Structures are given as C-alpha cells and as structure tokens.
Amino acid sequence: MRNHLIKSFALGLLLVAETFSCWAQTTVKDKDQAYAKDQTITYANSSKTVAYTNADNDIGYLGTYNLSKIDKIEVKGAAFVNKNDDTKAQHGLFSAEAVRLLPSRFYDNFKRDSAWMMSIPTESLLHSFETSSGAYAGKEGGYFTVRKLGGWESLDCDLRGHTTGHLLSALAMLYAQTGSPVVKAKADSLVNGLNDVQQAYGRGGYLSAFGEGLIDRNIQGKSVWAPWYTLHKIVQGLIDQYRLCGNDTALHVAMRMGNWAYNKLRPLDDSTRRRMLRNEFGGFNDAMYQLYAITRDDHYLWLARFFYDNNKIDPLKSGNADLGNNHANTFIPKLLGEAQNYELKDPGTQSEPKDTSYRSWQSSREAAELLFSTLTQKHAFVTGEVSDKEHLFDPSKQSRHLSGYDGENCCTFNLLKLAEHVYSWNIRDAAKRERITSYYERALYNHILGQQDPQTSMVSYFTPLLSGAYRLYSTRDSSYWCCVGSGFESHVRYARFIYDHDGNDLYVNLLIPSRLVWEGAIVTQETDFPYNGRVVYTLSGKSKSFTLHLRKPSWATSMTVRVNGCKTRADIRRTWKAGDRVEIDYGMALHEETTADDPSRFAVLYGPIVLSGRLGVVPHPFSDPTKYNDYYTFRFNVPDSLVDKCILKSIKDLHRLSPLHFATPSGVELHPFFDAHHERYVVYWNR
C-alpha cells in the first residue's frame, strides 16, 4: 500500500511540480477535453496550437511549455483572468496573488498537496454528480470507464460530493498563488462539468452528487447524514472560483443553487426550520452571506438568516461560554456565518443590508469573538487542536481526554478562518493581535503542518495525543474524509495570514519564508525559523512609505531589531527603498505547558514549537480501506514497555543534540511534533 501511495503521489507531482519553477506538464482527463482542444499558447514571439491526445482512454497530455515565455493562454470557453480577492477589504488580508511562499517546509507541503489535487481525475470527481443527475443516460459505457472514488465519495455515502467542493476552493487558491494555466484548466473543467450536471437535474438550480431526496429527509427530520454540509462545500467552492479565478460560470451556478434553496425553504415554518438545523450544515449560512455580498440579492440574505441556529448562537450572544459537549466542527462554521453577518454591516467594508430588523449585527461579532476566545484559551490542547472524538468537553478535565481521537483537522481549519476575521476586527489592538496570532501560529505549526505525511502526501483525520499513539493517514482513493477535503485547502492557505495591512500599516504575523508585493513595493522574508530565531526582510521594487509592525511574540525571550545595521524598535515608520534591510533576532528557549487540570502532565515546547518524544517506528500507519471509518475506533495497542519512556521529571533534564532536537536522560529523542510521522510519540509527559 505504501509503495502504491508513493507511486500515485509521484504521478501527481509530475503534473504540477514543474509549475513552481515555470515549467509545466499536465495530465488532462476526458472532461478536460473541451479545453484541451483548440487551446492556444501565445508566446512573446510565436504561437502554437496543441491538439488533445488520448494516451490510454484516461490520460492525455497538453505538452510541456516554458511558462515564463507565455503572455497569455486562451482556452475556448474560458479565460485565464484572476480577479482580485475582494475579501482583503473585509479582513485586511492581502489578496492571494500578492503573497508567494519561498522554499521551506510549508512550501514543500504546498507542492505535495498541489500534486495530489492535480492527480485526481476530473471525471472521477464528477462521477457521482453525473450518475445521480442522469447525465450518463444515453452514453453507453461511460459509467464503466471512470475510475471511481471510494470512502466518503462512494455512491452509497450520504456525504458524497463534498471533496469536489473542497477542491474547487483549493484549486482557486492554488491558481491565485501560482497563476498556473494548468490549474485553471482543471478548475474550469470541474465548473463546467457541474454546470452540465445542474442542467441535467433540471430542478430549478439543484446541484449535488446525491438526489434531492436526501434534502427532503433532512427537512422531514428523518435519518440522513448532512446533505446541506455537502451543498455548502460545493457552493463555497463555486464562490471561490468566481472570486479568485474570475469564473463567471461558477457564480451563475452558485446563484442558481441559492435560488433553488430559497424556493425550497421559503414555505417552511419555524419549527420545521429548527428541526432541519439539528443536522450538521457546515457553513451554508457563511456561503449565503458571501453570495449576498457579491450579488446584493436579498434571497441569499434571507437564506443566510434561515440557517441561524438559535439553540447554539443565542447563548453566545447572551455571553454564555459554556460549550458543553457540542460537536465541534458543527459549531464553529456557524460562527463564521456570524462573522460574515457582522462584516456586512461594518461601515468599513460593506453597505448595510436592506433588512434592518435582524438582531444586532454587533452581537454577531461578540458571539464569534466569544467562541474563538473560549476555544483557543480554554479548550485547545498545546498543539492548538480542539475536541476529542469530534466533540468538545469540560476543559477542566483536559488530561482525561488525551486520547487516540483528539484534534479533528476540520476544527482547526475552521478556527484559523475564524481567527482571520477576529484579527481584522482587532488589528489596532496590539495585545489582542498577539493573542490571536499566537494561537494561529501554534495551531499552524503543530497541528496543520504535521497533518500531511511528507512521504505520501496523505493526511490524518485526528492528531492523537495519547502517549504511544501515532498519526493514522488516509489512503489515496478509499478515504476522502472531511479532513481530506479540508486538508486540500489547509495546505494551500499557508501564505494567507503571513502579512496583514491596515492603510499604510504593514503587520508581519508569521515567520515563514515568503515574498509580498504591495503596490509595487516588494518585501522578501528569509528565515530558518523555527530552527533559529533570525529573520531578515529585504525591500525591493518601488519606494513606499509605511509603518512596518514586526511581530513581538509572547514566546520570545528577547528581540533585537536592526534596519540597515542600526538598532531600532519593532514598529518602524519610514519611506522604504530598494536595498533596505531589516534584521531581527528572537531569543528562543525551552518551556513547558501543563494540562488544565493536572500539573503532572505537561508538554515541552521550544518557542511556539511542540516537541514530541520518539517512541518507535510504525511501518504502515494507514487507514484500512476495507473497514468503515476505522480512524474513529482504531486501536493503537500501545506497548506497556513505552510507559517508562513517557516519564520526564523536568525540562532541565533535557540534553540538546541539535537545533530543535533534545534527549531525555533515558535516551528518548525529542523533535518537532510536525516531523512525527510513521512513528509512535509522546506529547504530554508524566513527571
């Protein structure tokens, strides 16, 4: 299995790795054929037309091109136009195309994730949609020639279709950051395929990989998984394709989905609405607020507010932070919708909706901030992850929840999105800014970054904190869990929060090698962090006057700043010119963090980086595709012989081997938790 995963991953890597060094080779599936045909590559001094070829009834090649010489690519039926990411006005974040990752561990994950996404056949991603809509009717044999996806994308899974939605969002972000025409062609193929499916359904805009009957079951209160959750992923992906890729077809498909939903739900009474909302619906309210912000169609505003969960959000708006044992990832996205509601009425972003009878928009912000602060300050483990077996628990009993089922990835994915909202509202408050950024950094390095297996690009569902457990990864075609979907997005979003701005104030949040282009001025960040605390920023491009606000991390034991060799403070106002150089040295040290209820259980950190103890190699840490959701009941069978190895009296007993590598007196080596792959580990030690 492991060799199969590596070979499959290598195929995807072949497709996109060269894109990052300005060369591209692409694999095009049958659904892409309309785009491969008549594709014109226009060079600075020549033009070449490439015809579609079908190598083995599955794979065709457009060829290899030096993208650095391409002025534009014209594809029949689509244009490679990248609209600005209009979320920057709401959040103070830079548009996706403004920030580029430079070589680092994050960049490596980014490339592996991109390769996996690009290797999944377009026809496979559309298969369940076309089957459920009847689009295969009259196309004898079409069903049998497609490589079918398994796991949560199987034809008998109620959640099928969610992966295609996640991939639409991830491909949009990937295209915005790379400008790769290969990525754009694949994304356009998916959008056009979904457009065809929507027409095939012929049900007023309905679109999904399952029939409308699952929605009816949800409305009637009958047993069904989470159909609106899948619809949220699809419509969000379409919105992202419009915003980041300029795909107008995607917007039209999303609007028709919204129109169908409005007509479907408008006749329902409030008791039926509340009954329907007992099921997980993801962030459908969030997506409808976004669709309203784009179109100003009041139907979408009505829909967003129809999905207001009174039982969950009203207590937060009353200041009640008792989150009980709620399903964490059902809860968090609802507050992303509240964040969107607040920003619609924020005079600094969007004009006020016509409907002013809705409850205070300010309370939406307060609820979102309360949930965020409660989860990140009280419920989060040292890694930034929350939940045990997907559910919240009494934070005063944290040590009892160090299990093999901690930290569903989707929760952290959505918490980081919520953090971006909350940060933008508090950007001028230095103390709040650091609290939010500190959590973001902690979760990004210690949970998200380590979710991906560097050997195969597969991802974990949970990140266990049970001593002696290990990360259990997905398989290539037999998992497609929700955390595979959010994983596709997570690993192309690394650049999103590195920098922020507010007028002529530039804030550096994350210490990640990167390049920012801001109104002609170019800021390049170089660092080996977290292996040392040195960071260098160099300026190039146009001169620009702004205040550079350097991060003053809560974990830093010291901080020294120099501009062009002269010592200065962390907030620097000047006219920056090409050749200017800012050097920062952060002091870093070992420290510990105990569980909330038991001071004898503690984790070891170096700066913000969690260090885990290495307890032995695991040769095959992959989910069993023959078992249903085995990640949820997986037995780690921790050997009794490991108990003594999980004892550490004090961090003073650790011996340093190299940067970020230490050893206990008993010989257990510690290294960054994000590097703990294919091995048993300990995060929380016993004294």
Of residues 137 and 93, the one with the higher pLDDT is: 93
What is the Cα–Cα distance from 234 to 292, expressed in whole angstroms?
Answer: 16
Model pLDDT, residue 497 = 98
Cis peptide before 530 (omega within 30 of 0): yes
- Type of residue at 337: G
**Cα 91 versus chain centre, distance:** 17
Residue 445 has pLDDT above 90, yes or no: yes
What's the CA dihedral at 151, 156, 161, 163 to 10 degrees? 0
**Residue whose structure tokens are 């309210």:** 285
Map residue 585 onto helix, strand or coil. strand
Cα torsion through 475, 476, 480, 481, rounded to 10: 30
Q: Provide the pLDDT confidence category of residue 51 given band limits of 50, 70 and 90.
A: very low
> pTM higher than 0.85, yes or no?
yes
Q: Is the pLDDT of residue 345 over 90?
A: no
What per-residue confidence (pLDDT) applies to 360? 72
pLDDT of residue 354: 55
Determine the distance from the C-alpha atom of residue 584 to the mean position of all C-alpha atoms in its chain, rounded to a whole number.
29
- Beta pairing, strands 534-541 & 23-28: unpaired
Contact 128, 210 (CB under 8 A): yes
CA atoms within 13 A on the CB side of 64: 8
Q: Three-state DSSP class for 244? A: helix
* 519 burial via Cβ count (<10 Å: 0-12, 13-18, 19+): exposed
Q: How far is CA 187 from CA 28, 29, 160, in A?
A: 11, 12, 19
Question: Which residue spans within 441-520 are E strands per DSSP?
Answer: 499-502, 505-508, 514-518
Burial of 609 (0-12, 13-18, 19+ CB in 10 A): buried
Average pLDDT, the chain: 88
Closest CA relative to residue 469, chosen from 610, 674, 616:
616
Q: How far apart are CA 291 and CA 243, in angstroms?
A: 11
Q: 616 and 599 in contact (C-beta within 8 Å)?
A: no
pLDDT of residue 348: 45
Determine the average pLDDT of the residues in 287-291: 98
Q: Is residue 495 left, alpha or beta, with left meaning phi > 0 and alpha meaning psi from -120 to 50?
A: alpha
CA 26, CA 182: separation in Å to the nearest integer? 6
User: Is the pLDDT score of 113 beyond 80?
Assistant: yes
HSE-CB at 586 with a 13 A cutoff on CA atoms is: 24
**Greatest Cα-to-Cα distance within the chain, rounded to the nearest angstrom:** 74
- Residues of the chain with pLDDT > 90, as a percent, come to 81
Instruction: State the first-to-last Cα distance of the chain, in angstroms, to the nearest integer.
Output: 39
Q: Give residue-wise pLDDT tens across range 198-228.
A: 999 999 999 999 999 999 999 999 999 999 9
| Closest alpha carbon to 283 in 323, 237, 229, 239 | 229
Give the residue among 160, 106, 142 at the shortest CA–CA distance from 450.
Answer: 106
Confidence of residue 138 (pLDDT cuts 50, 70, 90): low
CA distances from 304 to 106, 122, 273, 327, 540 (A): 35, 31, 13, 21, 44
What's the CA gap between 161 and 229, in Å, rounded?
10
Q: Of residues 329 and 9, which shows the higher confidence score?
A: 329
How many residues make up the chain in this entry?
Answer: 687
Which of helix, strand or coil describes residue 503? coil
All structural domains of the chain: 2-76 (no CATH), 500-587 (2.60.40), 590-686 (no CATH)
Rounded distance between C-alpha atoms, residue 630 and residue 129, angstroms: 26
**What is the average per-residue pLDDT within 260-265?**
98
Q: Average pLDDT for residues 666-683, to the nearest whole number?
A: 98
- pLDDT of 374 above 70: yes
Indicate the residue type of 143: Y
Sign, CA dihedral 441-442-448-452, equals positive
| Strand bridging mode 609-617 / 601-606 | antiparallel
Element (H, E) at 60: strand 60-66
Contact 126, 197 (CB under 8 A): yes
Which pLDDT does position 47 carry in this prediction? Answer: 33
- Residue 65, pLDDT above cutoff 70: no
Least confident segment among 10-14, 138-142, 495-499, 619-623:
10-14
Query: What Cα–Cα distance (Å) separates residue 267 from each residue in 101, 173, 219, 228, 261?
Result: 49, 37, 12, 17, 11
The pLDDT of 278-297, averaged and rounded, is 98
* pLDDT value for 569: 97
Interval 147-175: pLDDT, tens: 899 999 999 999 999 999 999 999 999 99
| For residue 14, pLDDT beyond 50 | no
Structure confidence by residue, pLDDT tens digits, 76-87? 333 333 444 433
Decide which of 6 and 442 is more confident.
442
